[in-house]
Amino acid sequence: MLKLAGMKDAQCAEVITQTLNAVNGVNDVNVSFSSNRASVTFDETLTSLPLLKKAVQEAGYEIAKPKHGEDGECCGGCGG
């Protein structure tokens, strides 16, 4: 699951969908403009989460920073 930023309309979601589908190893993509999220199923032997994030950024969109604990990790702001 990728939390996105910078989408202005449903066309942006389509661009991100096409971008992620073009990454080798991606099996399924579902981008929601309303929730600003992308659900991506991929083969970890062919690609990785950092490469998916890089593809989104190269398409001109941003990955939103998670809130504390949102992704199961500390956000780094509390030192916890």
Which tens digits make up the pLDDT trace of 41-79?
999 999 999 999 999 999 999 999 766 665 555 656 665
d(CA 64, CA 35): 12
Residue 27 Cα distances to 20, 42, 46, angstroms:
10, 5, 11
pLDDT tens digits along 10-42 = 999 999 999 999 999 999 999 999 999 999 999
Residues in the chain: 80
